[in-house]
Structure 1
Amino acid sequence: MSFFLPGELREQPSGGPPRRSARDWLVDTALFLWAVVWWAAMTSLLQDHDYLPHWLVVTDPVLGGLLCLSLWWRRRFPLAVALLAVPANALTDSAFGALMVVILSTAMRLPWRSATVVLVLYLGSGAPYLLIYTKPHEGGWPVVAFALAYYLVFFAWGRAARARRQLVLRLREDAERARVDHARRLGAARRAERRAIAREMHDVLAHRISLLSVHAGALAYRTEQTAAGGGPALDETEIAESAAVIRDNAHQALDELREVLHVLRADEEDDEHGPAPGATVGQGGGPHRPQPGLALIGTLVSQARESGQRVRYEDALPGAEPAPRAQLQRTAYRVVQEGLTNARKHAPGAQVTVRLTGAPGHGLTVRVSNPLPDSTAASGIPGANAGLTGLRERLELEDGTLHHGVSDGVFTLLARLPWPHAERRPGPHP
C-alpha cells in the first residue's frame, strides 16, 4: 500500500527529507509532460501575437522551458522554485501549464504566510502583462477574470491538499501515541499483576511450605530422639495427626500454586491471542488473582479481633442454598476487608458490625458499620478516598452497587451484589 502514498506520508528510513515514492515519480512525470505540452502549444501561438515586442517573443519560450525543468525540484526546494517562477509569470504565456503546477505546489508545501506572499507576488508581477497585452488584444476583462481565477483556484486546491495531508499526519501521530501509550499501560498493568502474584505466592504459598517444613522437622526430630533413647516414643495418634497436618498443608499449597499457574498461563494466552470469550478482567488489565471468598470472611474477622479490633460478625446467609460465583464472593470479601481497614484507620477502638444477608435471586448484601468517634463526628464521611473508589469500580464490574455514608453518628458501608441461582455455597475453608 505504500506504493500509493506520497513520499511525505511514508515512513522514512532516515531523518532526511522525504524521498520520492513510486507514486511521486509517476505524478511528477505526468505533471512535467503536462507542462511541456502547454509550453509547446503556447509557443506555437507566439508567432500570431504580432502585438508583442520581439524581445518578449524571444524570451517567452526560454523562460517557459526553464520553468518546466524546474518542476523536478519543486518538492525539495518549493520556495526557491516559486520565487524563480516570478519572472516567467510576468513575461511569458508558455509557462501556463508549469505555473499551474508551481502555484499548486507552493500552496501545498509552504506555510500559509509564505504561500500568501508568493501568491501576491504572482498577482502583482502578472498584472502589467495582462493589462498591457492580454486585455486589449485577447478578450478584455473576461480574460483578466479568468487569469485571476486561475491563480486563486490552484492556490486553494493546494491549500486543501496541504490541510488533508496535515490531517493524515496528525491522525497518524495520534494513533502512534495512542499505540505507545496503550503498550505502556498494558506493560505496566502486566508488571503490576505479576508483582501482585509474586506477593500472593510469598504471603500464602511460602507460608504453607514453611508450615510443612516446621511440622516435618518436628516429626523428624522426635523420631531421632526416640531412636536415640532421649524421649518418649511417638504413638500412632501423634504420627497420624502430624501426617494429616502435613498432608493438608501440602494439598493447600498445591491448590494455591495451581491457581497461580493458571493465572500466569491465562496471561500468556491473552498476550498471544487476546482475552478468551467470557474471561474476567481485573482492574489492572489482567485476569483476577486467586482470592478468598465467603468462607474466609470469618477468618478475616478473627484476625481483626486478634489484632485488638472489636468486631461483631453476623452471617445470615442460607448455608445450604446455591452460592454466589467465586468472583462475586471475592468481591464481598474485599468489601468486608475494606470496611474493617477503614474502621481501624478512622475509628480506632469503635465497635464494628459486619453483617451478611441475602439469598439466591434476591442478591447478596454486605454491611459494615461503626459509630464515629467524637473527634471526627463533624468531619464528614471517614475513609471515602481511593480505597472506596477502587471498591466501587470493583462492584460496578459485578453489576453491583456501593453506598457509604453517616446516619445518626454511624458510618455504614453497604454493598449489594447480584446473586442468581448457581452452585451450592462451599463449606468452611480447611
Structure 2
Amino acid sequence: MSDGLDHPAPRERRTPRDWAWDAGVFAAAVFLGLVVLGFVQEQGGLPQWQQDLDPLLGLVACLLLWWRRDFPLAVGVLALPAVAMAGSALPAGAVLVSGLALRLPWRRALLMLGAYVAIVVPSSVLLSESENQQWFDAGFAVAYLLTAFAVGNALRSRRQLLERLRLDARRTRAEHERLLADARRAERQAIAREMHDVLAHRVSLLSVHAGALAYRTRQAEAGAGPALSGAEVAESAEVIRGNAHEAVNELQEVLYLLRAEDGADGPASLLPRIDDIAGLVEDATAAGQQAAWSSELDPVAVRDLRPQLHRTVYRVVQEGLTNARKHAPGAPVSVRLTGGRGGDLTVEVRNGVPTASAAEPIPGTGAGLAGLAERVRLDGGTLEATAADGAFTLRARLPWPAR
C-alpha cells in the first residue's frame, strides 16, 4: 500500500465495476462537454480557429479519461492544452484534475496543480471576449481548478482512511488467530505430555510382565523352580496383550494429536476422572470459594466412559471454578452434571455476579477458554460461555455413546 507521500500507489487490475464506472464518467464528460460547447458557440465572440478546434480538443480530453487510472501524470500533462483552450474539455478536465490529487503523490500533485494554474488562468484571460470579462474568467479558472483538486483530495483521504481501517482489522484478526493458535498449541502440548506419562506407565507394565515370564521360564528350564502351568502362561500372555493393545492405542492418540490440524476432532488425554470432581470442589471450598456441586449421572454408567471424557469433564469444572475466582470473587458457584447413555453428558458451571472485590485481580493469559474449547472440540463436544440474568454460565456438551 502506498503512503501517498513519496511514491505512487501500485497499479491494480481494473475490475468490471471500474470499467462500468469509467464508461459512465466518459459518457457524462462527453454529454456535458457538448452542452458547454453549445453554450459557448451560442454566445459567440470567440475566434473561428478556436471554435473549430474546441470539439476536437474536448474529444481528446474525454478519451484520455480511459487512461487516467494507469497513467495519471502522463494523462494530466497531455490534457493540459485541451483544458486550457477548449470549453468542451472542462467536464473532462475536472475529472482529470481530481484524479491527479487522488492518485499522484503529494509533491507531484501540487506541481501539476501549479502547472494547470499557470497555463489555464492566463489562457482564459487571453481568450476572454472583453477586458471586463477577464477578471471573471480568471477567477472562474482558479475556482474550477481548486474545486476539482479539493474533491480529489477528499476522495484520497477517504480511500486512505478505509485502507488504514482494513489494515487495522486484518492485523487485529491475525493477532487474534495467532493467540488462539498459541493457546491450541499449548493445550495440545500439555495433552501430549500427559499421554506420554500414561504411555510410559503402560510400557513399564509390559516390561515387568514380560521380564517375569522370561525369568520364570529360565528358572524352570534350569531346574531351579517349578514349571509354569498352561493357565499361568495364558494369563501372563493375556496381561501382556492387553497392555500392549492399550499402549498402541494411546500412542496413536499422541501421534494424531501432534499431527492434527486446527479444528480437527480427535482424542483428548487421560488422568483425572469425574469422581475426582468432588475433591476439586472441596479444595475450592477450602480456599474460601462458595462452591457446591451436584451430579445426576448414573455412577455405574460413568465407570464405562472413556478416560478422555473423564478428563475433559474434570477440566471444564476446573476452568469454570478458576474463572469464577478470577472474575467473580466471593460469588457462589454451582457445578451440575447431567446426562445419560445415548445422549449428551452436560457439564454446567454457573457463578453469580461478584459479591466482593479482590484487592488485585488474579493474573492470567486470557486463553483458558480458547484452550478448553479446543480440548472439548477434540473430544467431539461443544463449549458455550454465556452471560445473562446477572450470572455467567460455562456449559460443555459431550457425546455419551449408548454403549
3-state SS, counterpart of residue 95 of structure 1: helix
**Structure 1 residue 134: deviation in Å?**
4.1
Match of 1:201 among 195, 203, 225: 195
Specify the alignment match of 1:270 in structure 2: 263
Return 5+ residue gaps in structure 1 as ranges: 1-7, 9-14, 273-285, 297-315, 335-358, 362-387, 399-430
Quote the offset at 1:89 in angstroms.
2.6
Q: Does 1:170 align with 2:183?
A: no
C-alpha distance in 2 between matches for 1:257 and 1:327: 22
* Residue aligning to 2:305: none
Q: Does 1:68 align with 2:56?
A: no
- In structure 1, how many angstroms separate the alpha carbons of the residues matched to 2:51 and 2:253? 91
Q: Distance in 1 between matches of 2:236 and 2:364?
A: 42
CA deviation string 1:326-377 (max 9, x = no partner): 238868xx9xxxxxxxxxxxxxxxxxxxxxxxx998xxxxxxxxxxxxxxxx
> How high is the TM-score relative to the length of structure 1?
0.52
Structure-1 separation of matches of 2:184 and 2:368: 18
- Give the Cα–Cα distance (whole angstroms) in 1 for the partners of residues 90 and 274 of structure 2: 85
Selected match of 2:207 from 207, 213, 222? 213
- Pair 1:327-2:320 in alignment: no
Structure 1, 245-254 or 72-81: larger mean CA deviation: 245-254
Of 81, 84, 87 in structure 2, the residue corresponding to residue 90 of structure 1 is 84
Structure 2 residue runs without a partner (length 5+):
3-8, 277-285, 288-292, 296-312, 323-331, 335-361, 373-403
State the one-letter code of the partner of 1:39.
G
Match of 1:112 in 2: 106
Q: How does 1:2-21 map to 2 (within 5 A)?
A: 17-21=11-15
Q: Structure 1 residues 198 and 80, CA, compared in 2 at 3 Å: closer, same or farther?
A: same
Q: By how many angstroms is 1:101 displaced? A: 1.5
Once the two structures are TM-superposed, the CA of residue 95 in structure 1 deviates from its matched residue by 1.0
Change over 3 Å in CA distance of 1:77–1:70 after alignment to 2:
same
- What TM-score comes out, normalization by structure 2 length? 0.55
Partners of 1:202 and 1:154 in 2: how far apart?
A: 71
Partners of 2:192 and 2:269 within 8 A in 1:
no
* Alignment partner, residue 25 of structure 1: 19
Structure-1 residue corresponding to 2:283: none
Q: Report the Cα offset of residue 77 of structure 1.
A: 0.9
8 Å Cα contact 1:292/1:329 also seen in 2:
no
Contact 1:64 1:95 in 2 (8 A): yes
Distance in structure 2 (CA, Å) of the matches to 1:199 and 1:59: 85
Deviations 1:226-281, CA, capped at 9 Å, x for gaps: 3652225679xx99x9899979978996997799699789x768347xxxxxxxxx
SS of equivalent residue, structure 2 residue 33: helix
Please report how far the alpha carbon of residue 110 of structure 1 lies from its aligned counterpart in structure 2 after TM superposition: 1.0
Indicate the structure whose relative CO is greater, using CA pairs within 8 Å and at least 6 residues apart: 2
Q: Tell me the SS of whatever aligns to 1:231.
A: coil
1:78 Cα deviation from its structure 2 partner: 0.3
TM-fit CA distance, 1:31: 1.8
User: What does residue 101 of structure 1 align with?
Assistant: 95
Q: Deviation at 1:137? A: 7.5
Q: Secondary structure at the match of 2:144?
A: helix
Q: Kindly tell me: are residues 123 and 268 of structure 1, through their superposed partners in 2, closer, same or farther at Cα, counting changes over 3 Å?
A: closer
Deviation of 1:132 after TM superposition, in Å, equals: 4.3
